Amino acid sequence: MNQNKDKDKNEDINNEDKDQNTASVDNDHSQRNESISTNEKHSLNNEEDINNDESNTQDEIKDLKDQLLRSLAENENLRKRTAKEIEQIKKYGHISLLRDFLNVVDNMERAVKSSTSENKTESGMKNLIDGIEIVLKEMHSTLEKNQIKKIEPLHEKFDYNFHQAMFEAPSSDYEEGVIIEVIQPGYILHDRLIRPAMVGVSKGEMAEKEKKDE
């Protein structure tokens, strides 16, 4: 009888151990499942973050492309406007100077009309000369108004930047390289040469002595 009771107790203990082992296994499976579920959630979150980053990058690239295209379009428009303005300046930039010279032309025509074949008297010729002098004064005034200055470098040192030597001659009065004659005056606009002055240049006293010795 006692043996049966001990046997029953042992079976109960074994059953409890089995139940505990089963519970422990189930608990391990549950923890593993929870761990797998957590990892899957992290993986999904990472994929979502990557997708969001890619989407943001694509949006930024699109914005940069739009900005670049707008900048290129603006630069092209600016280039066209600048080219058009330069063309207009080339065509009409000297219109102010020409407008001033029209007054000179008008006065010259009046001076010529005042000396017709019927008016060849002394007073008529005097009026013509006076008219021409007035026109010349007005012309010089127009040139100065437009920053066009006359170059008359008589007795100055020769400068190849503004003068063009037409001949050289010996001189006892001027040293070598000094301008002794202005054949035709030159002109400059601001600091830019329009036409060089045509001049004769001294070769100096030594050249004159050599010429006499010969």
CATH of 150-214, one of 2.60.40.10, 3.30.56.10, 2.30.22.10, 3.40.50.1100: 2.30.22.10
Q: 181 and 202 in contact (C-beta within 8 Å)?
A: no
pLDDT by 10s per residue, the chain, length 214: 544 445 554 555 555 555 555 555 455 555 555 555 565 556 666 666 666 667 778 888 888 888 898 999 999 999 999 998 888 888 877 777 778 888 888 877 777 777 665 556 677 777 778 888 888 888 888 888 888 899 999 999 999 999 999 999 998 899 999 999 999 999 998 889 999 999 999 998 764 455 555 5
Residue 129 DSSP SS3 = helix
Q: Give the side-chain half-sphere CA count within 13 A for 46.
A: 6
**Per-domain residue ranges for the chain?**
1-90, 94-146, 150-214
- Distance from C-alpha of 84 to C-alpha of 149, rounded to nearest angstrom: 30
